Structure 1
């Protein structure tokens, strides 16, 4: 008979006993009750109270109905909701629907987290949360996700609390950690460390059932290490604690303890092992019968829970359907009233529109006149400015520059009169000043009106400008074809437009490359200026003063102006204007 005992039985004993002894009814008298303040007259509280009493009496499917109604009734304290979620999770745990149990335990935990921000944790709060961690760990272990189970147990022992209720939870957490590591064949030292802490706490809080389970697990470690004498010692200590206990949990413990004690005695050649095997089998027979009944009850419970869930879902769908019907009817009635009201408003609006049509037409004409006038004023100012710049440039180049050259020649003639004598330094300095002034006047003249433009035309002036403004950060490229000489005023206007666009690129685009293309076709001059800079949203950004001036110039030239741009893809501007050629005098 003793030969039938398997070694694997030693690993079964009571290693999971903590995990599931806490996952059931601890929420009934947990710290929730100590901190929840509710209005006992409200509907939610009454449903919650009935659901809790049904839970305590083991009528889980009926309890679930009331608890689901309570959670969906009206808003209340987050801690109050946390207890309801915890009870619902416990019902799913009893029906072995562990995934749904985890879902509701997490909802319960979420209620805690929402209220522990920037708040000192009280003893009651800690016990409340510790209970949920313990149950959540058990549910994860049931679905074989040991990492998550260990995670929540370690959260319990990381929270240093000294009150008795929390210490009981902490002791169970240490015992559960040891149980998990035994099942994973972890190092004995780690398991013994956890069990030692668990035993110490269980003794302090007088948690005898858990103390017995810890002694049993400690014995199991010694069995794995083949130290059967120590194993026998700790199995005996566990049995001494449970000797007079006859509750369901204690009986289940004793069945495993008798079985494991028999194995240890067998290895010690102590044949009193047969007595323990007999005791184990006698308990096991009754347990098997109870387990069969419990399994049948769980199957029935799962079926009843499914019915409750389905009824709750149907109720929710009916409420949603009724709300939809009421909403649709309300919308239809509202639409009818809106339709009638809109008919009346439309009639009134049509009358007002007819009366204001003439006023709007006149307003549009006035706006157009105003816009045309503004464009003419802008262009007149620009034309005046360009004419003035040209006149100043001509005066500087033809008159002032010539006078400075003449003064320099007189000073050179004066130098020759000194022959062998030393020329006064004042004369030399005067020559240097005159040369510097001539250079500055030449540069100023070129800035006012490009001399390249006046002498060689648009093509060379634009290429010169591109070369002038290119640097290591920004390169300008040109592509100019079929561009001839045009009327001088026309060329100045076009060049100034291109120069203004170049200035915009230099100031705002943050580009690395820019392109200037120009081509004449069918007496239309097309100008394209493009860059690879940051661009802008043409739907949101308004044209600046510079672009408005350019648009006004193009309008006065009877041309078109288009902008294509978007953020981070650069800007492209296309201008088309009819060409204006030099008037050739008629021959006599």
Structure 2
């Protein structure tokens, strides 16, 4: 039976439609099943990580292995990589670094294959953390730098900020404080939009620690207090207590005992409230040390408090320190019998400790007490023992250095072995993957061939229509091309006109910028210093007050006149100068007894672009001028950091702030916007009446 041609076409179309629907339905079912298994894998990985936090290592490992198996069956590579990272923590806990780095190498390969750069960064951070915990700092720095070098839009500024903070902490461990400060400052800059985040506040504390270690106590105090302010807003009493303790130690190093004692006591009060026994004992010992030279009874009182808290925790090392402190004070008071009794207790408690420095100090005290008793023979013997322990400490330090070098060499050898094994494993997996791809391609070819046979008749039927449509499209494209060319010509003419207008307006702007930025700034500085005259001096003579008022009136009149002229005109070329020296000189001129100016400049030593230097200096003049006139600030901080492709400027004061909407069209802010726009930069102003003003500017180079 011969069917009509139209009926044949209808049946063919129906068969193709039915096949397509069936294929779509199969894909939907498979996709739903995959989503279900992926959710299961993610849930298992979350559970395994929670077990690590709770230190349930065996349970965590079993859950991670289960997640790994399910993810492998369903080819969920992201889930496999995450479970491997969790297994690495387990192997590190078992002190099997080769196994830990082997699974991390597998995870790294999976993340690279799937181009999951967020996961790859997590792998690098995990690997670096394990190196850091095992005191392999050079290896940790290398891996953190790899994490930092990942250039992809999926990596957020917050994640880069965390990596910079981690790098800074490793450099602190190595004692390279200047590089540590650079990375911690970079962390703050990348996280500048969220100044109250946990990462930012922690970075403030770390900067305080670095500056304290490098004996820059003023900057250390600045960052400690900055972190303290944020923790007080968050009512985090544990961190507030730690910062009080840090400030107490800082003022102790500065020999400011009164402030040191005040902060130690504040720390103690919070620790007593949070029932932190070990932290309380450290606080009591700190206060006892402060009172040891001035008031023995108070010192003994705090040592007894520390001892009472240790009766339940049973920490022999702390008890030994307490008895040794008591022995030293009894010795100072001349109560030798009591000093010997406390010293015996300290010796008994320190027997199981392998700390030669502590044992050496005990022997030294024994020698001093024996000498006070005029028992010169024992004093001589103890002195000989003390000298031997000195040699032992030196030898022990050398042995530790050798052990560290051996440990580093072993880690490098294991790293090479793991890399070799991974290379062989990768080769085997690549062969298996090629075979799998060949089978998948063959299956795909068969499906395509079948569909092609079904669709060839329809394609032939509509071929002539496609040809006609192609001809019409070609004509339309030709018309569109002509229209686009005409638009380009019009745009080019507009650009020429705009360039001409811009050149004319720049002539008018030149005088305004010079008047407002330079002469206006100097007049403001004169007015500011002139107002600093002591009231008593002004009252000493009747004529002095009148002269003072008249001079102030003249200065105000000149300032208003300059501002008026500046509004009628609107970047001035100045000679080339060293930007870093210019900023330093400018800061010295501005600073006075009411305003402290802090500067932190990084990376400008070899910067030679004079035009950008001019812009930066003029912008700083404008910002500092606004602070002097309006902020009523006591501290002004200038940060300038040169990066690869831009220079970052941040000016921060603790003044009264201002309302952005009311002052948006002021001439100062107007000039700032224009200067930044000229060099295609961007800026951000954050002002609050409670915490002052922060201006951040990025200038491309």
Q: Normalising by structure 1, report the TM-score.
A: 0.40
Q: From the CA coordinates, give the structure whose radius of gyration is larger.
A: 1
Q: Normalising by structure 2, report the TM-score.
A: 0.34
Structure showing the higher helix proportion among its residues: 2
The higher-RCO structure (CA 8 Å, 6+ apart) is 1
